Structure 1
Amino acid sequence: MLQSIKNGINLKKEVIAGITSFFAISYILIVNPMILKDAGMSIEITFFATAFSSFIGCLIMAFWGDSPITLTPGMGVNAFFTYTLVGSMGLTWQQALTVSLFSGIVYAIVAFTPLSEILSNDIPDNLKRGITVGIGLFLVELGMEKAEIIKSGGSHSLLAFGSITNTSTLVAFLGILICLFLMMKKIPGDFLIGIIITTIIAKVFGVSGSASSTVSIKDIGVFAHSLLQFDFSSFFSAKFIIAIFSMSMILIFESMGLLQGLLEDTKRFKKSFQASSITAILSSGLSTSPTVAAAESASGIQSGGRTGITALVTGILFGISIIAAPLIALIPQAAISPVIIITGAIMMKELSSIDMRELDDWIPAFLIVTLIPLTGSISTGLQFGFISYPLVKFFAKKREDINPVILIVSGLFLINLILSAII
């Protein structure tokens, strides 16, 4: 970052970009605790964990990565933490934090060794993009369920439409329209403003807040005593190893795809990737799901952000945001779900970059995209997508597209799938 200052960058643009990035992603302070609440974690703990991990992550990105990238607990990764590790696999949230810790360590090993370049070059782009799209579609489904726009179809269908007469659903639809309007007008802080307006509307209609308790700045003491909440009791179990492998793959490939898509200067990728991995490790100790590069960093980049100064400004604002803690209890699910839905839709834009012209390219990505939301498991989508890739290429007689790296990764996913079935 110091070198960037010496090179005479436009400081005003960098500061404006940092402020823009913060307002674009600030909704994570509300949304992440709400998702982790479903894992049994305290709202009080996860609010401060989200703010502190974002603050620290942005500082690391500023001084080590020197990139205009915001690091926050990732949408999609937090869903995997809550709904796959805790919900489907039956881990406690303390065990899930331990999984996050070791997944972050695996991520760091890749980031600080030549493995990062090898994976970046040899893993097909269609698979990496398929992960982003699949997670996006999963978030859309999750947001619609929270808004009660869709519900279980019972014996008639897998899913069914809710009811437009349901007050929460009606408020959520209004929230989607408000957020979309603000986005189309390119108003800074569109999501945060949308959440605030929708919350006011929800209060008028009598829709209650999501939190069961009021978060106060005084609760920072509770947060201080919640650090390093690891549980190693299942460390040597097959389920634990499977969980670490699955989350590691998500962190590595989602982060790789996001950074490659966001950074205009490819020379900054290596250190930015490393900064992201360090923060992912630290976030587990802070009692939140892993941090990743936020797609919303694009708003700051579009505003002129080019260096770590942008990330520094964003990080400082995350630090200041801790005083907004009491507001967390006022936000209803109906105000949060529009942001989850639209974030998913934005991630799904990567679908346009996936080559669908050849079935041997499209089918593996298709399996990732569809199986993640349909099974409610990000790891399941990854397994079948990566396992199918070399098989489909072999059937299509395109063996030149099968490199040793994809064979090894696909083999690991196959082992992971078999172990998942027998434990």
Structure 2
Amino acid sequence: MDKQQSQVDLANKLTLREALRHKDVVRNELIAGVTGFFAISYIIIVNPLILKDAGIPTDLSVFATIFSSVIGCLIMAFWANAPIILTPGMGVNAFFTYTIVVNMGLSWQEALGIAAVASFVYMLIAFTKVSTILSEAIPESLKSGITAGIGLFLVEIGLEKAGLIVAGKSSLIVLGDLTKPTPLLALFGLVLSLILYIRKVKGNFFIAIIATSLLAFFLGVKDSDTPSVDLARLGQYHKIAFQNDFSHLLSTPFILAAFSMTMILVFESMGLLQGLLPNQKKFKKTFEGSSVTTFLSSFLGTSPTVAAAESASGIESGGRTGIMALTAAVLFALSLIFVPLLAYVPSAAIAPVIVITGALMMAAIGNIKMADFSEWFPAFLIIVLIPFTNSISTGLAFGFVCYPIMKLALGKGKDLTWPVYLLGVLFLCDLVFSAML
């Protein structure tokens, strides 16, 4: 154990080229890469099904998900030399689909245009000193509130897809009909996923999805709107690639959506990377690499990429260098072979993973100083308003506006930095403009 720990500590200090010269380090990193990949591999199935609600064809979206993940992991390997897996983000894809397309009524092509603009701004921040200024200035409670709020939003979406909650007549939400096959199948998947996860079984979520899908197949449970997926459709990939619509670039909805997505990408990425990276000296390059991948993903036809929280499973297995990310990139590329199996994966098999992922993200609440109400309440607003309003940007706006107000009320206004005030004003404008719309 001591030898293994010493190898991990050594890897933390090595460049990618140096790490490749150490067989023991390479072996640890390969194991970490496989572990991390299987922990996040469900994204290949989940992301296309979420983007389906935005109108993006599932059988094409899966290619975009894989391609963006491969590119992101390669950038993490060779640019940042970091044990981070980049994939289309859970939560960001929900904002892309349910806020921009479903709620605002924009097309998925316009949403891709918004993602490109937001990602470009993200890159400008990442490659300048602004990233360092924001990273040091934004209160940790708000960063944690964003992560937890998006997590609660995912829980709500997952429960809806599972049929465990439905719109009620006397209340907003009621328990679904547990006599129907979909909720029962989802409960089976949830229990199995939880058991595999707490037992730390490698590839836990992926195994649970496959097992639940097999049970659904034998029971004859299948989503009526789940399309068949054929590798031959790869030739039609151009129908979603480079389809970004910038025709309404200067319209108010476009600008507001781009602003909100920029806030999500910048601050969620900051929070995730600061929480995941074993070596914080790699934060700058990792943040830069993440921004580039996010920009490219919009032209590949998918929602923005972020650092996968499931990278933690690989890091816990000893991942410290870009070899872990490189291994994941290879596995993502090989996963193209298994694309046709997506046709046999019902929503009931995906929903439990969405719920558990949301619950894991909600663990960020523990980083908030609950004893200090001026820290807790703004974060609380972010956490509850994101799912209650079905809008991530609305939750962010209330939290960032409330924070400086509460500090000023306590006479602690001088303790805040100018970026906090600036963001409060910008988010206040966001709320005003949204109300006008």
Please classify the TM superposition score into its range, dividing by the shorter chain length.
Answer: over 0.9
The match for 1:255 is 269
Paired residue type of 1:121: E
Q: How does 1:208-357 map to 2 (within 5 A)?
A: 208-209=222-223, 212-357=226-371
Paired residue type of 2:248: S
The match for 2:405 is 391
Q: How does 1:47-86 map to 2 (within 5 A)?
A: 47-86=62-101
Paired residue type of 2:114: V
Matched, 1:33 2:31: no
- What is the CA distance between 1:210 and its match in structure 2? 6.3
Q: Extract unaligned runs of 5+ from structure 1.
A: none
Tell me the TM-score normalised to structure 1 length: 0.98
1:72-118 C-alpha deviation (Å, 9 max, x unpaired): 00000000000000011111000000000011101101100001110
> Hey, what's the Cα distance between the residues in 2 that align with 1:318 and 1:268?
24
Residue 10 of structure 1 is aligned with which of 7, 15, 25?
A: 25
The match for 1:99 is 114
CA contact (8 A) 1:131 1:254 kept: yes
- What is the CA distance between 1:224 and its match in structure 2? 3.5
With 288-297 and 196-205 compared, the bigger mean Cα shift is at 196-205
- What is the CA distance between 1:401 and its match in structure 2? 3.0
Residue 142 of structure 1 is aligned with which of 157, 161, 165?
A: 157
> Hey, what's the Cα distance between the residues in 2 that align with 1:86 and 1:23?
30
CA contact (8 A) 1:386 1:409 kept: yes
- What is the CA distance between 1:25 and its match in structure 2? 0.3
CA contact (8 A) 2:56 2:240 kept: no
The match for 1:413 is 427
CA contact (8 A) 1:210 1:330 kept: no
Structure 2 CA distance for partners of 1:84 and 1:283, relative to 1, 3 Å: same
> Hey, what's the Cα distance between the residues in 1 that align with 2:217 and 2:334?
27
The match for 1:115 is 130
Structure 2 CA distance for partners of 1:401 and 1:7, relative to 1, 3 Å: farther
- What is the CA distance between 1:226 and its match in structure 2? 2.9
- What is the CA distance between 1:402 and its match in structure 2? 1.9
Structure 2 CA distance for partners of 1:366 and 1:210, relative to 1, 3 Å: farther
CA contact (8 A) 2:145 2:365 kept: yes
> Hey, what's the Cα distance between the residues in 1 that align with 2:414 and 2:144?
21
1:136-161 C-alpha deviation (Å, 9 max, x unpaired): 0000000000101011122x111111
> Hey, what's the Cα distance between the residues in 1 that align with 2:138 and 2:32?
32
Paired residue type of 1:236: L
Paired residue type of 1:299: S
> Hey, what's the Cα distance between the residues in 2 that align with 1:206 and 1:4?
49
- What is the CA distance between 1:207 and its match in structure 2? 1.3
CA contact (8 A) 1:112 1:274 kept: yes
**Secondary structure at 2:20 match in 1:** helix
> Hey, what's the Cα distance between the residues in 1 that align with 2:178 and 2:238?
43
> Hey, what's the Cα distance between the residues in 2 that align with 1:422 and 1:79?
24
1:353-408 C-alpha deviation (Å, 9 max, x unpaired): 11110111111000000000101100000000001110011112222332101001
- What is the CA distance between 1:24 and its match in structure 2? 0.3
- What is the CA distance between 1:323 and its match in structure 2? 1.1
